[in-house]
Structure 1
Amino acid sequence: MRRSMLGRLAVAACSLSLLTAFAPAAAAQADGGGHDRTYKKVGYFTQWGVYGRDFQVQDLEANGSADKLTHINYAFGNISPQGRCFTGNVPGEADAWADYVRPLDAANSVDGVADTGEQPLAGNFNQLRELKARHPGLKVLISLGGWSWSTHFSDAALTPASRKAFVESCIDLYIKGNLPQDGARGGAGAAAGVFDGIDLDWEWPGSAGDTDTKYRPEDKQNFTALVKEFRTQLDAYARSQKRKAGYELSAFVPTAPAKIDAGFDVRRIMRDLDFVTLQGYDFHVSGEPRTAQQSALRARGDFSVDGTVDAWLRRGAPANKLVMGMPFYGQGWTGVSGGGDGMGQPATGPAPATWAAGYEDYKALKKLADSGTYTIHRDRRRGHAWLFDGTTLWTYDDPQVLRAKTGYIREHGLGGAMFWSLDADTEDGELMTAVDRGLRGH
């Protein structure tokens, strides 16, 4: 899959050399946590999922997820070599057809009405607008970058002038909704009201990401200044529109302490960000020579959710602005030898899968778990699960693991949960339901 979390698989493997032992999580800050708290539930909707997976915005209504989500992050918006937000029909770089041109029939539309040829907004953007009309409290953010599209972030953030122009372009395109004309589609204000804010998914300021992504030592200070510029311009536009709720600003942030320290001035950026979503997965990936956990809640001397939370708390992040990332997919190895339950054993390579070797949706892994061919193994103390059939192993989160993680969120006063990605859940939204129930203390 292009531009998906598959690109992020490399970051955890590359970061393992930076590993340091994590101390137990710091005590949660007093922020009113508990049963009555409103937690953020942030799900990524993938632009490209409407194709091979045939996962439409309407499916969030059909499987009950829309009623449980507080935020949808639309993945992704790209940045041009000139440091501007842009869209268009450019293979591998932009997909205006999926975003706002593609007509949907009545069966695939949230409101049950087919798109016409004359309406200025169609595609995913129009469906998100229709979904928000049914769920007035739901917010939609445009997520900028991702693994494959962080290429020009460093250039865009380089100077005060480049930051100002970059932010202006993103607000113009996504918040004001001024889309490029594509036949009857697009035009001034065509997408106004679709997006309620911006999510910065720069992977990674100050350290290596994808092979063509630039990074500089000064990215850390430039990212801080970029966050400030987004906050300033978003607030100014909200005031001009007399928008009481304002526009939200969030960021996806890493696990590895070395990557945090290279690119994130934690105390300063947290003043201007409404929240951050923590990388809570890909701690180990299927390209590694041995099987290992990819998303454990706790793991001594290894990456873990608890270690990630602790790393951000120790650097000054408020607990109630930390939103825990959870995978709706698994990492898999085949050719596993050494016996036992398969964990920590040598493997010959990534396991065969539906979309890409070593990466499988939860809905497919659930079928494996129910097939009787695989055995479900659990490490309850560390909070993770895996499937093993004697040869192939999949490490993943199921409802039981997610219940433990939502309990951790409530216990530590965190801001909520984030999921990559919504199209990997079951048709009845099993994982989304587990998270929602867990955060409500059920």
Structure 2
Amino acid sequence: MAIGTVRRTKRTKPGKRFIAICASLLLPLAAMVGLSAAPAQAAAGATATFAKTSDWGGGFQGEWTIKNTGTTAVTAWTVEWDFPAGTSVGAYWDALITSSGTHYTAKNRTYNGSVAPGASVKFGFVGSGPGSPSGCKINGGPCDGVPPTDNPPSAPGQPSATATTSTSISLSWGAATDDHGVKNYDVYRGTSVVATVTGTAYTDTGLSADTAYTYKIVARDSIDQTGPASPTATLRTAPGGGTDTPPTAPGTPTASSVNDTSLTLNWTAATDDHGVKNYDVLRGGSKIATVTGTTYNDTGLTANTTYTYTVVARDTIDQTGPASAPLTVKTTGGGTPGGEYFRVGYFVQWGIYGRAYTMKSLDTTGAAAKLTHINYSFSNIDPVNLTCLNGVTKATTPGPQDPNQGDGAGDSWADYEKGFSAGESVNGTTDTWDQPLAGNFNQLKQLKAKYPKLKALISVGGWTYSRYFSDVAKTDASRQKFAKSCVDMYLKGNLPVTGGRGGNGVAAGIFDGFDLDWEWPGAEGHAGNHISADDKNNLTLLMAEFRKQMDAYGQTTGKHYLLTAFTPADPGKLDVGWDITTRDGTPSVFDYMDYANVQGYDFHGSGSDNSWEPNRTGDQGNLYQDAGDPYPTKFSVETTVNYYLNQGVDPRKLALGLAFYGRGWQGVTDGGAHGEWQDAHGAAPGQFPEESGTRGYSNLMSSVPNLTVYHDEQSVSTYGFTGNNGQWWTFDDAWSIGKKTAWLRSKNLLGAMIWEMSGDTGVLMTAVDNGLK
């Protein structure tokens, strides 16, 4: 498997064993074939509520109450819910309960299926584990009896004139957004609808010369809901006898007073036969201001970052002319406050399970005090709505080659539902049952309060969750919808309500931006990933849309939000999927991103299913090309980074990836080279049974007996060998990290990125920190 197709996975967490009470009474769905119940009727008028009637720590007694809130009798009922992993149903009564994984279905008995208006019935069970139900449905509808809402569309952008004659005005406007898609737009002239169109442009004809008309636009969604109207625009037709010509292009802007966070733009005026009214200033293709003069001060920028500007003139009847030639300018400075190098660490949501690695672990190991950025991984993409996904607790399927492995998966239990005790929490407080935000997100909030300079980004995608990136990037509408959903969920903090947690604004202020981990646009990734020849161009457009919406939200908070990405080591994957060079004023992905986390590891390895490179060992993160490397493509950190730099990428936009884990083989021959580049017989036993061939650094050092560590000075790589026909492991240690950090400083790179923090108890993070001082 080529580099970049490696197992940078969203792993399933280890299961826990429970002794079920009367477990034989709980039948799997497959065993229920042939059992019948009365057909379920519509959910209108029925509600279902849950309560724990007793709780003894390791288990509880639960009771559901079904109430008929309608005016006609309910003749049958079915209640469905989900439990988080580790919670299950044992004995039950007054219902027939079946299960499929963590999803439970309860149907009425013959004696309690009919519920009169205003009446109620109950059923109960004995449960094990600490969880509570989520995703409740009664007869297919929501258990609170309130039908799900479909939000109306947003307001379209203010219409403007793209061309004007004495009898017509050509209009265009910014698209509205909607959770299920915009169907069409009503065009109002005054108070009357003059047209309904599917696009974002319309030409109004049959008008009078030299006359002012007022327009507004209203969007309609797929179920015919209309949203608020756009701002109105008063536009004038041309005088009789001809066409009013749009303005000319303004002069190419110039920059002055450039510093770390702001600059001043100036340009020569455009001309127009009836006069120029104002100018739109665009950064990276997105409008950031409208001004009446020929100068603009742009603030809130990021140090040592390249920006591209154009200017468009608008005349007195709101016709816009061609854009000016672009200006590309770079702000001064770089690094974090105080001139430090970035230290970016990935925190995996599932680390709190078998790894027992929490946000508090970041604090107690000393890592939090050394990091500048935390990337929380991962958020998934909703396979149906093509939006950012949370509010579900569903494990990935176990097969790494299952194309549907990550569909609908997520862990809201770890993200914001799980309650932490005082001993587990960063600030020493116990989460209460009724607080709207708990879990890792609340612990991250506490960690940032303790370390105010620490930034946090939500990582979207990863190896298992990248299947639908091509779909969300495909069209302007899908890009707008996806970016909006992510901004709403993670920057505005509007988390789905589940397990009694979540709600609008509960996570606001926790995340400082997004890390997009599309693995890989236009190239092979996880089995079943959607790929298109248009991915490369669409990725740049997706980055532009995120930057546009993040900047717009930043205008309301006074904050610059970060946009980063995990980018590949393989030049082939870069060529087909990433436009990393700005050419002739055409923006690249780096014009919208603050920086990239460049893959500097997983050059070689043997995965848990032995589908990668099971038969030969190889260094996973060597700094220089190894003279003894027998593989056809010879990877190295130097080769990878130089490819970016030779394409014109600013070195201060590159953070070099380091691995806090090792990759291993077994049955390895010595070959006179202590097992390096030698024959092997598959992946070595891993830290966890489902992760053969992988161990965190600290676990590797403590759990593999007779491991002798070797340092290859020529390639700058570290490996360990247990002896002939034994295990061989490739990894980074303090020695190689010291060499790599010295090298990246010599290249003036931005800093280092770490995948991932749970592999280290403090030794490696200290080496990174010392190397970047």
The normalised TM-score by structure 2 is 0.52
- 2:695 corresponding residue in structure 1: 360
Partner AA of 1:284 in structure 2:
H
- Out of 382, 386, 389, which is 2:715 matched to? 382
- 2:7 corresponding residue in structure 1: 7
The residue correspondences of 1:171-182 to structure 2 (distance < 5 A) are 171-182=487-498
Partner AA of 2:625 in structure 1:
A
Structure 2 gaps, min length 5: 10-331, 397-408, 582-587, 607-611, 627-632
- Out of 307, 312, 322, which is 2:644 matched to? 312
Determine if the alignment matches structure 1 residue 423 to structure 2 residue 739: no
Shift of 1:38: 1.4
Aligned equivalents of 1:411, 1:276: Cα separation in 2: 18
- Out of 660, 679, 686, which is 1:328 matched to? 660
Shift of 1:31: 7.3
2:368 partner SS: coil
Aligned equivalents of 1:297, 1:139: Cα separation in 2: 28
The answer on whether the counterparts of 1:31 and 1:320 sit within 8 Å (CA) in structure 2 is no
- Out of 410, 415, 419, which is 1:94 matched to? 410
Shift of 1:218: 0.3
The residue correspondences of 1:28-67 to structure 2 (distance < 5 A) are 37-67=339-369
Aligned equivalents of 1:73, 1:221: Cα separation in 2: 25
2:369 partner SS: coil
The residue correspondences of 1:70-109 to structure 2 (distance < 5 A) are 70-81=372-383, 82-87=385-390, 88-92=392-396, 93-109=409-425
Task: Give a deviation string over 1:322-344, Cα, whole Å, max 9, x none.
Answer: 00000000110110125321111
Partner AA of 2:599 in structure 1:
Q
- 1:262 corresponding residue in structure 2: 576
Shift of 1:353: 1.7
Shift of 1:37: 3.5
Structure showing the higher helix proportion among its residues? 1
- 1:128 corresponding residue in structure 2: 444
Aligned equivalents of 1:382, 1:260: Cα separation in 2: 24
CA RMSD of aligned residues (A): 1.7
Determine if the alignment matches structure 1 residue 202 to structure 2 residue 527: no
Partner AA of 1:310 in structure 2:
N
The answer on whether the counterparts of 2:413 and 2:439 sit within 8 Å (CA) in structure 1 is yes
Partner AA of 2:605 in structure 1:
V
The normalised TM-score by structure 1 is 0.90
The answer on whether the counterparts of 1:179 and 1:188 sit within 8 Å (CA) in structure 2 is yes
Partner AA of 1:66 in structure 2:
A
> Larger radius of gyration, structure 1 or 2?
2
1:143 partner SS: strand
Partner AA of 2:684 in structure 1:
A
- In 2 relative to 1, CA 202–318 (structure 1 residues): closer, same or farther, beyond 3 Å? same
Which structure has the higher relative contact order (CA within 8 Å, separation 6+)? 1
The answer on whether the counterparts of 1:368 and 1:374 sit within 8 Å (CA) in structure 2 is no
Partner AA of 2:598 in structure 1:
L
Aligned equivalents of 2:623, 2:496: Cα separation in 1: 44
- 1:405 corresponding residue in structure 2: 740
1:233 partner SS: helix
- 1:223 corresponding residue in structure 2: 539
Once the two structures are overlaid, the 10-residue window that deviates more, 83-92 or 111-120, is 83-92
Aligned equivalents of 2:675, 2:703: Cα separation in 1: 16
- 2:616 corresponding residue in structure 1: 290
- 2:128 corresponding residue in structure 1: none
Give percent identity, aligned residues only.
Answer: 47
2:360 partner SS: helix
Aligned equivalents of 1:265, 1:200: Cα separation in 2: 15
Partner AA of 1:83 in structure 2:
L
Shift of 1:123: 0.0
Partner AA of 1:203 in structure 2:
E
Aligned equivalents of 1:337, 1:422: Cα separation in 2: 32
Partner AA of 1:283 in structure 2:
F
Once the two structures are overlaid, the 10-residue window that deviates more, 403-412 or 81-90, is 81-90
- Out of 463, 481, 487, which is 1:147 matched to? 463
- 1:23 corresponding residue in structure 2: none
Aligned equivalents of 2:655, 2:568: Cα separation in 1: 12
Task: Give a deviation string over 1:269-323, Cα, whole Å, max 9, x none.
Answer: 1111000000111100124111110000111561111111011111221101100
Partner AA of 1:410 in structure 2:
R
The answer on whether the counterparts of 1:179 and 1:186 sit within 8 Å (CA) in structure 2 is yes
The answer on whether the counterparts of 2:601 and 2:659 sit within 8 Å (CA) in structure 1 is yes
The answer on whether the counterparts of 1:32 and 1:413 sit within 8 Å (CA) in structure 2 is no
- 1:240 corresponding residue in structure 2: 556
The answer on whether the counterparts of 1:145 and 1:203 sit within 8 Å (CA) in structure 2 is yes
The answer on whether the counterparts of 1:31 and 1:413 sit within 8 Å (CA) in structure 2 is no
2:753 partner SS: strand
1:434 partner SS: helix
Partner AA of 1:55 in structure 2:
Y
Corresponding residue pairs, total = 409
Partner AA of 1:389 in structure 2:
T
1:7 partner SS: coil
Aligned equivalents of 2:687, 2:464: Cα separation in 1: 21
Determine if the alignment matches structure 1 residue 432 to structure 2 residue 765: yes
1:224 partner SS: helix
Partner AA of 2:604 in structure 1:
H
Once the two structures are overlaid, the 10-residue window that deviates more, 217-226 or 352-361, is 352-361
Shift of 1:7: 2.5
The answer on whether the counterparts of 1:49 and 1:423 sit within 8 Å (CA) in structure 2 is yes
Shift of 1:8: 3.5
Shift of 1:248: 0.3
Partner AA of 1:307 in structure 2:
T
